[in-house]
Amino acid sequence: MGYLKRWGPEVAAQVQAMCGELLSTYTDSYVAWDCKQELYKIKWMIDNTLNKSSMYSGEEEWLKEKEQEKIVEILKR
């Protein structure tokens, strides 16, 4: 059987903590920039992996659905 593990709470918590630090008005620019660099590194790693992976059945529809949800959230603001 292949890899089926989902994100552990510690991974999501670390990313959320970096996001919180980055967006906090109490964070100085040195710390915020460090957090942003780390988030970029994670983003690039994920983007590279997704670009190398195959397209799966139902993936295009799912991505379109998620894009539409994103647009609705933007319009609600």
Rounded Cα–Cα distance for residues 34 and 22 (Å): 9
pTM score, whole prediction: 0.76
Is 72 part of any domain? no
Is 74 part of any domain? no
Is 2 part of any domain? no
Is 27 part of any domain? yes
Q: Is the pLDDT of residue 1 over 60?
A: no
Q: pLDDT band at residue 6, thresholds of 50, 70 and 90?
A: confident
Is 70 part of any domain? no
Domain carrying residue 45: 7-54
Based on the structure, what is the number of domains in the chain?
1
Is 69 part of any domain? no
Is 20 part of any domain? yes
